[in-house]
């Protein structure tokens, strides 16, 4: 049995958000540009950007020179926000209340299923950790060990795509 895999789009979306955080005020990046920057399939990246937009993480601008911008400051967008936007809001573990089935059901107590509660606690721990990291932190970490030549190259690319 292979491991539960998180939607790869989460990684793409997180990197895209980090990129958007570096945009000058009033500028935008198209889905095509965001895809090209990491050599990803354009159409599929576009789909994930749609999800981010629908979740309110980014805002979309139509027409020429349009594209996407972060909807909030980079320190107000957490990795959890990105995950929820791409993977959806519901809990990972879904209790089907199978304890109520079968010859010896145990649902007399109104209490929630202990197993479900335990997994949901774990999910909350995950969520807390993911909430504590913002796109701004990612950007700061990337900017830490930046090479001047690469920075120039990046600025050139940015100017050519905004």
Partner DNA sequence: GGGGCCTTACTCGGATATCATATGTCCGAGTCATGGGGG
Partner DNA sequence: CCCCCATGACTCGGACATATGATATCCGAGTAAGGCCCC
List of residues contacting DNA (CB under 7 A)? 1-5, 7-9, 30-32, 41-44, 46-47, 49-50, 53-54, 60-68
Among 27, 37, 69, 162, binds its own copies (CB under 8 A): 37
Show the site string, 78-117: x = touches its own copies by CB under 8 A, - = not. Answer: -x---x--xxxxxxxxxxx-xx-xxxx-x-xx-x--xxx-
Q: Distance (Å, rounded) from C-alpha 84 to C-alpha 102? A: 35
- Burial annotation 83-119 (CB, 10 A radius, 16+ → b, else e): bbbbeeeeeeeeeeeeeeeeeeeeeeeeeebeebeeb
Least distance CB 63 / its own copies (angstroms): 25
36 near its own copies, rule: CB under 8 A = yes
- From its own copies, DNA, none, which one binds at residue 49 (CB under 5 to 8 Å depending on kind)? DNA
């Amino acid at each position: 049995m292979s491991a539960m895999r998180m939607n790869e789009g989460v990684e793409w979306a997180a990197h895209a958000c980090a990129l958007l955080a570096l945009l000058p005020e009033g500028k935008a990046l198209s889905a095509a540009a965001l895809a090209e920057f990491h050599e990803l399939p354009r159409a599929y990246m576009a789909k994930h950007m749609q999800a981010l937009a629908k979740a309110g993480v980014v805002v979309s601008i139509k027409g020429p020179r349009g594209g996407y911008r972060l909807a909030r400051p980079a320190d107000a967008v957490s990795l959890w926000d990105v995950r929820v936007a791409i993977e959806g809001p519901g809990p990972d573990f879904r209790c089907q209340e199978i304890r109520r089935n079968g010859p010896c059901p145990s649902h007399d107590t109104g209490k929630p299923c202990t197993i479900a509660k335990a997994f949901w606690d774990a999910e909350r721990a995950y969520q807390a950790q993911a909430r504590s990291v913002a796109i701004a932190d990612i950007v700061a970490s990337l900017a830490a060990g930046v090479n001047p030549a690469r920075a120039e190259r990046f600025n050139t690319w940015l100017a050519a795509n905004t």
